[in-house]
Each structure stands twice: as structure tokens, then as C-alpha cells.
Amino acid sequence: MRYGCGETFAYSKKLDHDKSCIYAPCSCPVQGCDYINSSKKLDSHLRCRHVGKVIRFHYGGAFPLPLTAGQNFEVLQETDDGAIFILHHHEETSGNVVTISCLGPPSSAGEYFYELSTDEYFYDLSKNSQGKSFKFQSYMQSIQSRVDHPLSAGFVLPPGQFFGTSKMIYLDLIIWRKSDCPLNIQGRTNAE
């Protein structure tokens, strides 16, 4: 009730309700902020309090996402409906783990899909090679607060060599709502 839910139900139904309630409490994903409210109310909080700390985008359109080695996360927000996503990044011995999650109630799992890709073009005379690229498509898990090491469902391991000497890579990201996501991507990612 504290976050806007007006439903009443038997205590035995509480667990089921907590999994589907759109008013489930979510924490602001910006580091150092302790604001908690429903995911819908986080929209206005981010727009007012964290200007410049959030990357805004539109569903279905590719947008560039600069990612620096050692950078732990980016907060993304859809411009029209205010949905909030978190891109987590951390280095492992085998590469760089990149995961995108939806900040919202547990019922939002599988409601969003994404494609993450990069094309880095170069010519290395010593190795007589050029270009390196990858493309990864998946659905998103839902989370209710920013975590340092999210669940690994839907992750990609871009090799460390993508970051090169600049320690930066530019990824292209597309996020779709399930209703707008191309069926071939939904079929390949096996979201339930």
C-alpha cells in the first residue's frame, strides 16, 4: 500500500501478489541514491533528480552506447513510457560480462528483448587482419534494485581485445517491448 497498491487479498496469496504487483518497490539505480518507490514513480524521480546520469532512448531504434573498461553500469530510460533498464558490466578472466535488466516488478521478466552489437573496424599490419564484431540477442530479467553481479541469464562475453588500448568500446543497442519485437528474435531467445 505504501507504494500505491490498493488490492486486498488473503495472506496466503501474498507471495503470488508480490510477483505480479506493478507497485512492487524498486530502488533508484543511481549509485548513492536511496530513493525507493514503484517503478512507475521512479520515472519522474530520474527525470527530475538525475539529469545527465541517464541515457534516454526510443524502443526499436538502435542507439550508440559508449562503454569503458572498468565501468560497472549504465542507467537507460525509454523516453515515452519511462521504463528503466540497467546495463551491468564487469570484467571476468574470459572477457567482459554485459547484462541488461529491466528495473520493475518480477512480472516484467520476458517483456523486453534486446540486441547488443558492435563493429570495430581497424587494420593491424602485424597480424594482417581487420575488423572484429559481434551481435547478441536476448530477453531481459527483471530486477527491483541495482545489483553488482546480476543473474547471468542473457549475457555476452565480448573479448577483452574489443576494448583495445583506449579501454573503450562503442556498442549499438536496440530494446524492444515484447509486442514490438521481431518474432525471429523472440524465438531465438526462448523467453517464457
Phi first, then psi, for residue 73 (nearest 5°) are -160, 160
pLDDT in tens, 16-33: 777 777 787 888 988 889
Domain that residue 163 falls in:
53-189
The answer to whether residue 42 sits within a structural domain is: no
> Domain containing 133 — which CATH number?
2.60.210.10
Which cell goes with 182? Answer: 521481431
pLDDT in tens, 77-126: 999 888 889 888 777 776 677 888 888 776 676 788 898 887 654 444 45
Domain count, the chain: 1
The answer to whether residue 20 sits within a structural domain is: no
